[in-house]
Each structure stands twice: as structure tokens, then as C-alpha cells.
Structure 1
């Protein structure tokens, strides 16, 4: 796991458990976006996880949590600058 629920809750300044189920789903979605964007499924094996990669996931989670239900907003736009160094290109 690239980020934990506890890290996400600290980042979002959430001190209750009412959103934990939603947050876990959003963490999974942000992680899937990161893996898809980079094309590198081995990112989940990194230990420790680089700070910029961890921050990309946190930014994606925050974006999806803050804009839940809205359309037209793509969390990849917020995550891309932090994920770009990890992108694997293939032709």
C-alpha cells in the first residue's frame, strides 16, 4: 500500500471514523490511477515509498474526497506532476 488510511486522515485533517469506508475506496482508486498513469505495477513494492509518490496519492485522494459527485474534474491533473518521474513509456 502506497499510503495508509491514517496518513490520508492526517492529510485531510479528519479525526473521526465515519468516512473510513469511503476513504479506503478512494485510496484504492488513487492508487489505481497512479499505477495506470505510470505504467509501473511495481510501485506498490517500493519500501520506503518516495515522498513525491506518496504525495501524489494524497493529492489524488484529497481531490476525489473534496469533489465527490462532481463531474468534469480529473484527479490525474493534480497527480500528474508528482507521478511524471515514475512514468514508464513504451512504444
Structure 2
């Protein structure tokens, strides 16, 4: 669930949780880059920590309702933060 991923992404004191967060977001970026018509375009040199901050900020602002799947939340957040030109 998206909120569970938010908890992991927002965890400052757990290397494991940070790894889960960054791994999940990184996998979505790689998968999206392989699609014919991507919904978002993250520059190749963009650190995953920037995506992590965008994900956390969206949940903290209330922009993503609890109960939203992690994939749906991440796709919405990344499309807003990294639109394709």
C-alpha cells in the first residue's frame, strides 16, 4: 500500500526501509523508461533521493489518499514531478 511505502520512505533511521523505498521507486523508473509512451520522464542523472522526497512530500501534504496502492501513488507523484516534455 502507498502509505506503507511512505512510512518506509520517511524513515530516517532505518537503512533497510530506505533501501526498500529507493529500490521500489528505482524499479518503477526503470520500468517506465522501457515503455513506448512513458507517463513520466526522470532524467538519467537524477538521484533517487529526489524521487523519495517527492513521494514523502505528496503524502505529507495530503495529496495522496490513504489506501492508494504504492504503484498508483508513485505513478501519480512521479508524473507530476517529472512530466515528459
Structure-2-length-normalised TM-score: 0.45
Greater gyration radius: 1
Specify which structure has the higher proportion of helix.
1
